[in-house]
């Protein structure tokens, strides 16, 4: 079983505004929590932010971590590439089926 979380260096208020905007534009409610990692401490532990990069810059990473804490998939991509949610769902399904 996998549980989804979001992680961002943005504030809780920014996350709430983002979720509200998504809902207003699409009618979709995001069903998972988003963690406000204002200091970047969690992101640094996973190697998502380099110490020599602006700590508030957007970093695009996807980690699939199983219920045993094993990282099964990592994807890192630049801001100018749009997330491909169907592809992420396909990868998640493959990871779940091949465990």
The domain 6-97 having CATH identifier 3.40.30.10: the answer here is: yes
State how far the Cα of 95 lies from the Cα of 63, in Å rounded to an integer: 12
Q: What is the pLDDT of residues 29-80, one digit of tens each?
A: 888 888 999 888 888 888 887 666 666 566 678 888 888 888 889 888 877 7
Rounded Cα distance, 5 and 8, in Å: 10
Ordered DSSP codes for 50-83: -TTS-TTS--EEEEEE-TTS-EEEEEEE-TTSPP
Instruction: For residue range 7-32, list pLDDT tens digits in order.
Output: 888 899 999 998 999 899 888 888 88
| CB contact burial 50-85 (16+ within 10 A = b; e otherwise) | eeeeebeeebeeeebeeeeeeebeeeeeeeeeeeee
Task: Name the residue ranges covered by the structural domains of the chain.
Answer: 6-97
């Amino acid at each position: 079983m996998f549980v989804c979380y979001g992680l961002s260096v943005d504030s809780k208020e920014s996350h709430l505004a983002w979720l509200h905007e998504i809902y207003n534009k699409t009618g979709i409610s995001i069903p998972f929590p988003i963690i406000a990692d204002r200091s970047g401490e969690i992101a640094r532990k996973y190697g998502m932010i380099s110490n020599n990069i602006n700590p508030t810059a957007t970093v695009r990473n996807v980690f699939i971590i199983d219920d045993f804490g094993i990282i099964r998939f990592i994807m890192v991509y630049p801001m100018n590439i749009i997330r491909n949610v169907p592809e992420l769902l396909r990868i998640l399904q493959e990871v779940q089926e091949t465990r």
